Structure 1
Amino acid sequence: MSPGQWLLALAAGACAALMGAAIQRGATCTVAAVHELMDQGRGTRLRSLLEASLWVAGGLLLLRALPLPAPTLPAPYAVSRWTLLGSALLGLGAFVNRACVFGAVARLGNGEWAYLATPPGFFFGCLSVDALFRVRPDPLPGGSALFAAPLALGWAWAAFVLWRVSGPWRRRGGHPRLAWTPHAATLSIGLAFLALLLLEGSWAYTDALAELARGMAMGHGTRLGLFGCLLAGAMWGGWRAGLWKARTPRAVELLRCFSGGLLMGWGSLLIPGGNDGLILLGLPMLWPYAWVAFATMCLVIAAALWAARQVRPASIA
């Protein structure tokens, strides 16, 4: 690799590590968001997830106005019964795992080693999906409705981000203290994802595992290296917050996490798209199948939580 390529790789690794730390510190998780909404009647975490999508949408608009190479984006897909089945499996897998793919990273950042079984489960789900579901999602012709918006919205987004980022300096007289609120975390996730989009193209760790399982030549080494940086960032975030406490997993916990990952792997290829890819790319691009899939996933998680409490009225988080 040339010095320039090394610099790009280091920059991409730093962005992935920042994303991991933000996921851990912001406790970003769809299961936790639905849990909060059902138990406390508050949508703080759910709004934060949607806010991450908003940051990415604004960034994509701004990139159109800048003299930079356009990032390579995946094709959208049509809404079908496979979209609904896949998102139901994705939601059920997140419930079994007790964390979505974001939440699994956050749990690993706390030292919950049982969640090391989630990525292998996801991988084997992607590996076995064709043997169970012989389906090929139909591509959706046409571009994204997002790019029909005026370019001025991209510049307005940039000004808004600068205003948000400068908030701590303005409020604390130039001596800010970083507080990893859900809003700060989602801003960091969105900006880090945009930087990775420019440096490495469309990247989500679930996509990297899916491509590896299906034998697609998409730079496995680089993408898996970014996954390692993501996990390292999450663990650093947990250590910095004083939340790191290595927990030796029991066999039943490893089985639960592997099974949850397996279900999420099946669901992600039927939709297609994992939870992270849906939130950070599908929703911002205003693709209908992504919005349908995310909403269905949330409803399935809520239904599973409700049903579990009828059988065993204990807290499931």
Structure 2
Amino acid sequence: MILWISIVCIGLAGLIGFSAHRASLCSVRAVEELLTTRRGFMLASFVKSSLWVMGATLLITLFVPVDVMMTVGKELSLLTLVGGLLFGVGATINGGCAFSTLTRLGGGNIGVLLSLVGFVVGAALLELIPMGPFSSLAVDTQTGMSLLTRWHMPLAIALSLWMLWELAKLRRSFSPSGWKNKVTASHYRLSTAALLMGVSNAILYVLVGAWPYTYVLGHTARNAVTGAAMPAVIYWLLFVALVVGVFLSAWQGHRFRLVLAPNRQWLNYLFGGVLMGAGAGFIPGGNDVLMFQGLPSLSPHALPAFVAMMIGIALTLTLMRLLGRGIPVIDCGNDICAIDDK
């Protein structure tokens, strides 16, 4: 039984990686879209993903007797906001957030490995720096979901109606005779990716708890510095499955381009990764943890941290503009952002 559960989890993580690549999801791009076209389709897809996680998790826990990890959140503090800003600045320098880093790696950009190395270094440095009265960076507390137990059924009903509405909209754009073309399309609709990623994560959330890869890298850094417990093997397998899912998407969609030659951007990957790792230590977690765990569980720190992250990205992009560096125009239309990862 454990073997089959592990296989299912690995498959779901691979599906999340595949979907993220097909939809070109990235928090930096979401802010670029807001700044260049005054539209927020990609940002809306992040909200939809969190709603799918929340709705699907509630439905599962209403009918299946499992102890889902929605009871432990993090308190909001000034360091949470600092962490969000740092992560946003680092992601912009890196050229992409937690999602985009993996989609570029799976798409053949080997230099992005420096982003992951930098992330671990940044998280480790945070553990080494004496924080004085702030030595406890993240204080556990109850989540909104754990405090609103009486509202679980009404929430589940409301979110079920919304999910049915989303499914109906997607169904109108789907022809049974053309299902193969939809599956192999080079770019997925943002709403489709939100559905696939949200439901897949809800199942993973119930089966293995907090699993996003920035969580795994952060705990690995903590182990190296303090000797804390290493993440379980299943979390590393899920991390590998994410990258494999991205690779399969890039390969099948003819978007895999192996990039081995070092260039100046590699320094940005490393430095941006360090800032992302330090920011994730303050929050704690990256934008993947916030979207897949913090926001759906209504943790007190999640929404302020996510907003601070978006502000950090916007400020860095604005500074780049003032320094004469252009930012790409992200023009998402018909629920699709046709952007190639580099």
RMSD, aligned α-carbons: 2.2
- Is the Cα contact below 8 Å between 2:138 and 2:282 reproduced in 1? no
Comparing 73-82 with 7-16, greater Cα deviation is found at 73-82
- Is the Cα contact below 8 Å between 1:29 and 1:100 reproduced in 2? yes
Q: Distance in 1 between matches of 2:150 and 2:276?
A: 33
Match of 2:254, SS? coil
2:139 paired residue number = 139
1:154 paired residue number = 156
Q: Distance in 2 between matches of 1:241 and 1:205?
A: 24
Give the superposition deviation at 1:176.
4.2
> Is 1:174 matched with 2:176?
yes
- Is the Cα contact below 8 Å between 1:112 and 1:249 reproduced in 2? no
Q: Distance in 2 between matches of 1:62 and 1:17?
A: 23
1:191 paired residue number = 199
Q: Distance in 1 between matches of 2:93 and 2:201?
A: 27
- Is the Cα contact below 8 Å between 1:56 and 1:190 reproduced in 2? yes
1:293 to 305, 321, 328: 305
2:7 paired residue number = 10
Q: Distance in 1 between matches of 2:57 and 2:247?
A: 29
> Is 1:230 matched with 2:257?
no
Give the superposition deviation at 1:311.
0.8
Give the superposition deviation at 1:101.
0.5
Residue identity in the other structure for 2:217: L
1:48-59 mapped onto 2 (5 Å cutoff): 48-59=45-56
1:52-201 mapped onto 2 (5 Å cutoff): 52-73=49-70, 75-132=72-129, 134=131, 135-137=135-137, 139=139, 141-145=141-145, 147-158=149-160, 160-161=162-163, 164-165=166-167, 172=174, 174-177=176-179, 178=182, 180-201=188-209
Q: Distance in 2 between matches of 1:18 and 1:82?
A: 34
> Is 1:42 matched with 2:33?
no
Q: Distance in 1 between matches of 2:278 and 2:81?
A: 12
Change (3 A) 1:249 1:100: farther
- Is the Cα contact below 8 Å between 1:122 and 1:264 reproduced in 2? yes
2:281 paired residue number = 269
1:304 to 287, 291, 316: 316
Q: Distance in 1 between matches of 2:325 and 2:277?
A: 29
2:336 paired residue number = none
Aligned residues: 314
Q: Distance in 2 between matches of 1:206 and 1:168?
A: 31
- Is the Cα contact below 8 Å between 1:305 and 1:316 reproduced in 2? no
Match of 1:288, SS? coil
- Is the Cα contact below 8 Å between 1:25 and 1:106 reproduced in 2? no
Residue identity in the other structure for 1:37: L
- Is the Cα contact below 8 Å between 1:93 and 1:259 reproduced in 2? yes
Match of 2:177, SS? coil
1:217 paired residue number = 229
Change (3 A) 1:313 1:169: closer
- Is the Cα contact below 8 Å between 2:71 and 2:143 reproduced in 1? no
Q: Distance in 2 between matches of 1:248 and 1:173?
A: 41
Residue identity in the other structure for 2:276: M
Change (3 A) 1:76 1:169: closer
Match of 2:327, SS? coil
Give the superposition deviation at 1:155.
4.3
1:243 paired residue number = 255
Change (3 A) 1:220 1:46: same
